[in-house]
């Protein structure tokens, strides 16, 4: 330990370091100078069973003994253990060593005990550490202290648990419980009365009565052997609480999992209460069930004749039987599992219908009729482009071109792609001729359908988007279009895998979006526009070379408080940034290479017409 402040008057201090190995020393501060002079050192090794609290009190006791050798001298003992200081200050402490230290402090009022922070850079603390390390590495015999109550209690607990575990493993009784709880513990397993009856198999089960010759037969009332596993998995009298029957070699694991599962245990509790309340017991007591039990047995086994599924209530079975009938709508040929859903459908169609004049089909909504006419009765036009694509000026011109499928391509996505491929190619070529360099992508809107559990059909119309492509000439347009189609097909396949039953229905439209591409031209220092400079939020390095990219990245990695625009702050760190084969000035297309080499994320923005935009 170390003192917090040097004394103003001549005094003697004792510093303590308490561990398994202890060290302390007695320094002296002459009045003329406050240099620390070590006058006495002490260290000791303790037995491994000693606790940290015992070691701290033992160190305090030795420090007080050293201090009492200098009577009538003001001595301050510094320690970083608040627990030991509080124990020493308590005259009614239960620890014998703490009471002895308290008595010594009463007899020597010149000795004071103060607390300081641990590991606070005190010189005395380092000296005590050194002493403790030296005695810990030595081969001297340890100083044995009385074992603490907590240590004795812990050792006794471990020993008793070990003996208990050996007795539990080598025992001949209680093997069913041993299979479920193989390890002994001081904590309860949390079973209630019904669960104990089931897992111990010491309940009102015919197999248990027959085992102790209370009942001559071990059969259940259903005719099979009345074990706990029989009641829980196959007895027709307890069919509402059945669990899945395990294989014979997996019965041990089955009991373990049932005991660990709350839902299974709730069924076991209900099952045990039922058996305990209705099982007649030994045959010499009674040989028949009560009238209530007979009525209950006659009504329980309610099974579906089609799928053999059992139900505890008649209304549940009646509702289930409706699902096995194929109820077909005479107008739209849609199938329903329930009669009420079919009647609801028929009522809706009869209430308001919209027939088609050409094919006599009937539709419940006008929108469905119009869609039917547009897709089935219109002449097959070529994929058409919107007459007036949307466009607005924002840092150049961007445009959107809509393409709708033909009656054949509407139901086949691959066929639709082949139909629109020439139109997309021509549109991109036209945009390149007008704007010299463009960025483009397209979005497909596709409709999916699925059948709900109630027999209805629901739809969704997600969008699938390709990646953004930078087009500088016409040589790679065909390859880029193919890659964009592949991206949409991959996204669609991923949607179908994770779509919870969605099925492709039709293609609604495709939209091609293009925008002028303004690549950033790298160069040297350029003064900032007045609007950006006034914000004081952008660092513009004043360099005369072509390495503005390097200086900008270094300025972000190593912020400078004042005059951050001066290049001299960053020149000595130039080699820190790895460029590989990238040369200066750095083109924006080379930025990903620099990011990968340096494990960085770099964003490049442009500024034009008072607008900031990413490149």
Same domain, 82 and 126: yes
For residue 98, being part of any structural domain is answered with yes
For residue 586, being part of any structural domain is answered with yes
Q: How confident is the model at residue 162 (pLDDT cuts 50, 70, 90)?
A: very high
Same domain, 477 and 436: yes
- From residue 268, how far is each of 179, 237, 260, 281, 313 by CA, in Å? 18, 14, 12, 19, 20
For residue 162, being part of any structural domain is answered with no
Residue 183 confidence (pLDDT) = 92
Residue 103 CB coordination number (10 Å): 12
State how far the Cα of 600 lies from the Cα of 264, in Å rounded to an integer.
53
The pLDDT of 275-300, averaged and rounded, is 47
CB contact at 8 A, 278 and 204: no
Same domain, 125 and 29: yes
For residue 66, being part of any structural domain is answered with yes
111-115 and 75-79 strand pairing:
parallel
Residue 17 confidence (pLDDT) = 46
Over the chain, what is the mean pLDDT? 77
The pLDDT of 74-86, averaged and rounded, is 86
For residue 99, being part of any structural domain is answered with yes
CA nearest neighbour of 443 among 398, 388, 508, 518 = 508
**Tens digit of pLDDT for each residue in 177-232?**
888 999 999 998 888 888 888 898 888 888 888 888 888 888 888 888 888 888 89
- The DSSP H or E segment spanning 264 is helix 262-278
CB contact at 8 A, 60 and 101: yes
Give percent of the chain with pLDDT exceeding 70.
77
CB contact at 8 A, 372 and 363: yes
Q: What pTM, to 2 d.p., does this model score?
A: 0.35
Same domain, 503 and 539: no
Angle between helices 262-278 and 193-200 (to 10 degrees): 90
The token pair that represents 10 in the structure block: 């001549």
Residue 34 confidence (pLDDT) = 47
Question: Which residue among 516, 549, 581 closes a domain?
Answer: 516
Instruction: Encode 415-444 in three state secondary structure.
Output: HHHHHHHHHHHHHHHHHHHHHCCEEEEEEE
For residue 384, being part of any structural domain is answered with no
Range of the domain at 490: 398-516
Q: Pick from 142-151, 354-363, 432-441, 459-468 the range whose average pLDDT is largest.
A: 459-468
Residue 338 confidence (pLDDT) = 67
Question: Which residue among 276, 309, 338 closes a domain?
Answer: 276
Residue 37 confidence (pLDDT) = 67
> How far is Cα of residue 301 from the mean position of the Cα atoms in its chain?
44
Greater confidence (522 vs 108) lies with: 108
CB contact at 8 A, 334 and 344: no
The token pair that represents 245 in the structure block: 């029957």
Q: What is the CATH number of the domain that holds 460?
A: 3.30.1490
- Of 384-388, 405-409, 520-524, which gets the smallest average pLDDT? 384-388
Q: Which residues pair with 180 in a beta bridge?
A: none
For residue 385, being part of any structural domain is answered with no
Same domain, 104 and 19: yes
> How far is Cα of residue 251 from the mean position of the Cα atoms in its chain?
34
CA nearest neighbour of 419 among 448, 467, 383 = 383
**Tens digit of pLDDT for each residue in 8-57?**
333 334 444 444 445 554 554 444 444 556 777 778 888 777 888 888 88
Question: Which residue among 276, 294, 323 closes a domain?
Answer: 276
- Of 70-74, 144-148, 441-445, which gets the smallest average pLDDT? 144-148
CB contact at 8 A, 520 and 615: yes
CB contact at 8 A, 132 and 19: yes
Residue 166 confidence (pLDDT) = 92
396: left (phi over 0), alpha (psi -120 to 50) or beta: left
Same domain, 455 and 409: yes
Same domain, 70 and 185: no
Same domain, 39 and 127: yes
Q: Cβ neighbours of residue 166 under 8 Å, at least 6 residues apart? A: none
**Tens digit of pLDDT for each residue in 120-148?**
666 676 777 777 788 777 777 777 777 77
Please provide the distance, in angstroms rounded to a whole number, between the alpha carbons at the two ends of the chain.
61
Three-state secondary-structure class, residue 54 = helix
Domain count of the fold of the chain: 4
């Amino acid at each position: 330990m170390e003192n917090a402040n040097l004394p103003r008057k001549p005094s003697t201090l004792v510093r303590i370091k308490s561990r398994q190995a202890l060290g302390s020393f007695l320094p002296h501060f002459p009045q003329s100078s406050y240099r620390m002079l070590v006058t006495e050192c002490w260290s000791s090794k303790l037995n491994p069973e000693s606790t940290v609290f015992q070691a701290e009190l033992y160190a305090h006791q030795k420090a007080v003994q050293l201090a009492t050798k200098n009577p009538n001298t003001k001595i301050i003992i510094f320690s970083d253990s608040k627990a030991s200081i509080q124990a020493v200050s308590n005259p009614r402490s239960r620890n014998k060593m703490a009471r002895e230290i308290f008595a010594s402090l009463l007899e020597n009022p010149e000795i004071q005990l103060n607390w300081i922070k641990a590991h606070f850079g005190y010189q005395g603390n380092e000296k005590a550490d050194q002493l403790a390390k030296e005695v810990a590495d030595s081969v001297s015999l340890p100083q044995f202290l009385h074992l603490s109550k907590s240590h004795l209690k812990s050792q006794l607990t471990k020993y008793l648990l070990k003996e208990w575990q050996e007795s539990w493993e080598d025992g001949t009784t209680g093997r069913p419980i041993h299979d479920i709880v193989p390890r002994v513990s001081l904590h309860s397993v949390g079973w209630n009365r019904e669960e104990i009856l089931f897992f111990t198999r010491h309940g009102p089960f015919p197999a248990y009565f027959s085992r102790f010759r209370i009942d001559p037969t071990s059969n259940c009332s259903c005719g099979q052997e009345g074990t706990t596993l029989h009641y829980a998995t196959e007895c027709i009298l307890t069919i509402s609480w059945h669990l899945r029957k395990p294989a014979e070699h997996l019965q041990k694991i089955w009991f373990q999992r049932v005991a660990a599962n709350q839902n299974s245990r709730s069924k076991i509790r209900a099952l045990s209460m039922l058996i305990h309340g209705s099982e007649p017991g030994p045959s010499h007591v009674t040989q028949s069930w009560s009238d209530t039990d007979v009525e209950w047995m006659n009504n329980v086994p309610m099974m579906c004749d089609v799928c053999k599924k059992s139900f505890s209530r008649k209304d549940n079975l009646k509702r289930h039987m409706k699902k096995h009938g194929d109820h077909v709508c005479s107008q739209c040929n849609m199938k329903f599992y329930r009669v009420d859903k079919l009647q609801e459908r028929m009522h809706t169609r009869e209430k308001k219908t919209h027939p088609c004049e050409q094919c006599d089909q009937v539709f419940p909504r006008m929108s469905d009729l119009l869609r039917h006419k547009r897709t089935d009765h219109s002449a097959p036009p070529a994929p058409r482009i919107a007459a007036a694509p949307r466009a607005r000026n924002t840092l150049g011109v961007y445009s959107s071109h809509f393409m709708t499928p033909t009656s054949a391509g509407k139901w086949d996505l691959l066929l639709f792609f082949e139909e629109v491929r020439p139109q997309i190619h021509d549109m991109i070529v036209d945009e390149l001729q007008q704007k010299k360099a463009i960025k483009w992508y397209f979005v497909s809107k596709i409709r999916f359908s699925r059948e709900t559990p109630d027999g209805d059909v629901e739809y969704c119309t997600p969008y699938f988007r390709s990646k953004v492509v930078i087009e500088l000439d016409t040589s790679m347009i065909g390859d880029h279009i193919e890659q964009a189609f592949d991206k949409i097909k991959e996204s669609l396949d991923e949607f179908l895998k994770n779509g919870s039953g969605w099925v492709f229905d039709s293609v609604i439209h495709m939209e091609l979006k293009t925008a002028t591409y303004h690549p950033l031209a790298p160069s040297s220092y350029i003064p900032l526009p007045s609007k950006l400079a006034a914000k004081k939020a952008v660092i513009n390095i004043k360099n005369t070379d072509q390495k503005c990219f390097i200086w900008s990245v270094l300025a972000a990695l190593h912020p400078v408080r004042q005059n951050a625009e001066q290049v001299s702050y960053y020149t000595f760190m130039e080699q820190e940034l790895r460029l590989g084969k990238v040369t200066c000035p750095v083109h924006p297309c080379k930025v990903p290479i620099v990011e990968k080499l340096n494990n960085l994320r770099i964003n490049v923005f442009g500024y034009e017409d008072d607008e900031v935009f990413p490149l």
